[in-house]
Amino acid sequence: MKHSIFLLMTFFLASLSSFSQKFEAETATLYSGAVKVEGITSSGGYYVAQNSGLVSFTLNLATASTYNLYIQVSSASVNAADNLSLDGTSYAFSITQGTNFYRLKIAENLKLSAGQHKVLISKPYGSINIDYLEFEIVDTSPKASINKTLVTPNPTDEAIRLYNFLYDNYGQKIISGVMTLGSMDEVNWLKTNTGKEPALVGVDFMHCNRAYSWYNDLEPGNDALKYYNRNGIPAICWHWRDPSRKTESFYTKDTNFDISKILDETSDEYKAMLKDIDYTAGLLKKLQDNKVAVIWRPLHEAAGGWFWWGAKGAAPCKKLYQIMFDRMVNFHGLHNLIWVWTREPNDDAWYPGDEYVDIVGRDIYKTGDHGSQLSEFSSMTARYGGKKMVTISECGSIPDADNLVKDVASWSYFMPWYGDFVRNSTYNSLDLWKKMFASDYVLTLDEMPNLRTYTSPDTTTYSAPVETSNFKVYPSFCTDYVKVQSGKLLQTIRVFNQLGMKVREISPKLNSITIPMTDLPSGMYLIKEGNEKTVKIFKL
């Protein structure tokens, strides 16, 4: 790297381009009666009264990116309207009557190249004043639309920190995981054979609340607590055995338990399901009392129909999930859970709703297939509107890290089932496990932060944030994005290259903002907010 050369350069301030580029109307070419007018409240001190004329821009965009296009405009006329043409594509717009300028969106998600573009604003209907055009870069990263808060109201501090870690890590690395059946069996096998342990461990309430003489109901919770204390992530599922106690099965073929009775609060089945939920809530409450956050994945693979909770179709299963959420969160006061819905094909009618789900998982069993499962990733991301992180909640064969990176399939974590799925080379070879655990793209237990004290950014993924007072910029060495945070509202952020030229400017009026850097060349950059001390970062 040539960082030492950058450090020797002299910095000066000269505007080149911006995160949100503005083009003043008075700098355009004016035809047929459009005139430049001095205005105290307008940007740059002038605006253009269009009258019956034309306004023509030849403008240069600094970077190739996805943009939203705005116009700053006003009109004293009722039902004023106009038409804007960008590189030959027309966008008609109408204007709200008023003497004050306001920002009106003309088009969104425009993929535009760097360099010259032509804009023509044609003869208007009504009296229209134009202040400026604005091209705003849109964040199209996989995380752009993901929910920033948990669906559980007033979540515990631990739950917030775990979710923040999952969010910060999303798209940066994949979290390694493994399912266990008996106290850390597969974790210990991997430790013995690879020297490393996965960052996430799956445990199951399968044997709990059945009065089995050979089983300790506290075992899965104790395993979760121990792993969390080692900075691991506990992911708990529940192979829920027949609530009626007529059988010990959870498979549809082996029990006649009728989930549809969840719709009848007077039924024995409803009462049996509620009783089991209450008992399980007690197990989860012990973890909350020990300040443990949990990835909670109930009623998994429902639409497959092979479990009793999916035997009667979408409506009763969806109702059961919602009742469980309400009972656990609002009745039992569980606020330490991150709720996961496990998608199956054609299960849109089964989905409990965005207000009940934090993460969407997919259980993928394709023997010997170590591909990235990109089609599943892309389909799920689109299906949920990019609002939910998606993950491989179970699998047989794990995806190869090289394929994940190549295809940009940004799954949150992977978790193969226990037994042969972990140990047998038919599914996953020991060489692949070693390769995965050695990969920079795969997080293992030894690379995890303390989840009880975690704050953004993830210091195992990036170098520590550069901080001046309460103004943070990270990562110090970035590839695609840099994040700016402050304890106060960020006013104006400017990014300067090593020559001192301004290459970004944004006024977010938020406490944090993510700034795309993908289009900028490698090198050193200075980031400045208001009168804060300038912070130095490096684009790799």
> What percent of the chain is predicted at pLDDT more than 70?
92
The yes-or-no verdict on residue 235 having pLDDT over 90 is: yes
**Phi and psi angles of residue 401, each rounded to the nearest 5 degrees, phi first:** -60, -35
Same domain, 99 and 216: no
pLDDT for position 246: 98
| Mean pLDDT (whole number) for 171-178 | 94
Nearest to 460 by CA among 197, 235, 168: 168
pLDDT in tens, 486-514: 777 777 888 887 666 778 888 777 777 78
**How many separate domains does the chain show?**
3
Which CATH number goes with the domain that contains 164?
3.20.20.80
Identify which has the larger pLDDT, 5 or 280.
280
**Distance of alpha carbon 324 from alpha carbon 55, whole angstroms:** 60
Strand order in the sheet with 80-86: 29-31, 54-61, 115-121, 80-86, 89-95
Asked if omega into 475 is within 30° of 0 (cis), the reply is yes
**355 inside domain:** no
Give me the CATH number covering residue 525: 2.60.40.1930
Say yes or no: 128 and 240 in one domain.
no
pLDDT tens by residue, 363-410: 999 999 999 999 999 899 989 999 999 999 999 999 999 999 888 899
pLDDT at 209 over 60: yes
Q: Do both 384 and 288 map to the same domain?
A: yes
Token readout for 154 is 């007033």
Q: Tell me, yes or no, whether 362 lies in a domain.
A: no
Domain assignment present for residue 354? The answer is no
Percent of the chain's residues with pLDDT above 90: 72
301 is catalytic: yes
Average pLDDT over residues 65-81: 92
Q: Are residues 18 and 98 in the same domain?
A: yes
Domain match, 23 and 73 both: yes
Tell me whether residue 108 is one of the annotated catalytic residues. Answer: no
On whether the CB atoms of residues 454 and 164 are closer than 8 A, the answer is: yes
Residue 152 lies in a domain: no
**Sole residue written with tokens 């394709």:** 366
Helix orientation angle between 268-289 and 219-229, rounded to the nearest 10 degrees: 30
Instruction: Kindly state whether residues 532 and 407 are assigned to the same domain.
Output: no
Angle between helices 314-326 and 268-289 (to 10 degrees): 40
For residues 231 and 294, membership in a common domain is answered with yes
Q: Does 415 have pLDDT greater than 50?
A: yes
The one catalytic residue in 24, 301, 529, 532 is: 301
Q: What is the pLDDT of residues 417-427, one digit of tens each?
A: 999 999 999 99
Same domain flag for 288 and 181: yes
Residue 410 and residue 359: Cα distance in Å, rounded? 13
Contact 131, 43 (CB under 8 A): yes
Is residue 531 domain-shared with residue 406, that is, in the same domain?
A: no
Helix or strand (DSSP H, E) at 436? helix 430-438
Catalytic, out of 394, 447, 529, 532: 394
Does 321 map to a domain? no
Q: What is the pLDDT of residue 464?
A: 39
Q: Tell me: the pLDDT tens digits for 102-158? A: 999 999 889 899 899 999 999 899 999 999 999 988 876 667 789 889 999 999 999
Residues 210 and 110 in one domain: no
Is 497 a domain residue?
yes
User: Given this model, what pLDDT does residue 317 score?
Assistant: 98
Q: Say if CB 413 and CB 177 are below 8 A apart.
A: yes
Contact status, residue 64 vs residue 114, Cβ threshold 8 Å: yes
- Say which DSSP state 307 is in: B
Rounded Cα gap, residues 336 and 307, in angstroms: 26
The pLDDT score that the predictor gives to residue 349 is 97
Burial of 238 (0-12, 13-18, 19+ CB in 10 A): buried
Domain, as residue range, for 119? 14-137
Q: CATH number, domain at 126?
A: 2.60.120.260
* Cα dihedral 526→474→518→534 (10° resolution): -10
| Predicted local distance difference test score (pLDDT) of residue 105 | 95
User: Which tens digits make up the pLDDT trace of 299-325?
Assistant: 999 999 999 999 999 999 999 999 999
Between residues 422 and 20, the one the model is more confident about: 422
What CA–CA distances, in Å, run from 34 to 38, 118, 169? 13, 18, 52
444 located within any domain: no
Judge whether 132 lies within some domain: yes
205 and 66 in a common domain: no
Average pLDDT along the chain: 89
49 with 182, same domain: the answer is: no
Q: At what angle do helices 185-194 and 430-438 cross, to 10 degrees?
A: 80
How many Å separate Cα 56 from the centre of its chain? 40
SS (H, E, C) 218-273: CHHHHHHHHHHHCCCEEEEECCCCCCCCCCCCCEHHHCCCCHHHHHCCCCHHHHHH
